[in-house]
Amino acid sequence: MHDVILVQSTTHAIRIEKLLKKAELQVKLVPVPRHLSSDCGVAVRILADERNRCEEILSENSTPFEQIASLKK
């Protein structure tokens, strides 16, 4: 199962992708799912099991994001 990190800009999405890949987490830039809203059309897909670790890394690096939403897929 996956979660997505919603962000305000593509720049934030790319920064998050780089930070999480550096931490050896599985991430991928994806279009924002239609049922979710965001200012940006790009989201960062993560493994649901790695959600807490992702939140820690983003907090430690003062990286802004809107929310982390669960995907049922």
Closest CA to 54 of 43, 68, 42, 66: 68
Q: pLDDT (tens digit, 9 = 90+) per residue, 46-61?
A: 999 999 999 999 999 9
Give the per-residue pLDDT at 39. 60
What are the Cα distances from residue 32, in Å, to 37, 41, 49, 57, 73?
Answer: 8, 5, 20, 21, 14
Question: Is domain 2-70 in CATH 3.40.225.10, yes or no?
Answer: no
What does the domain layout of the chain look like in residue ranges? 2-70
Give the per-residue pLDDT at 33. 83
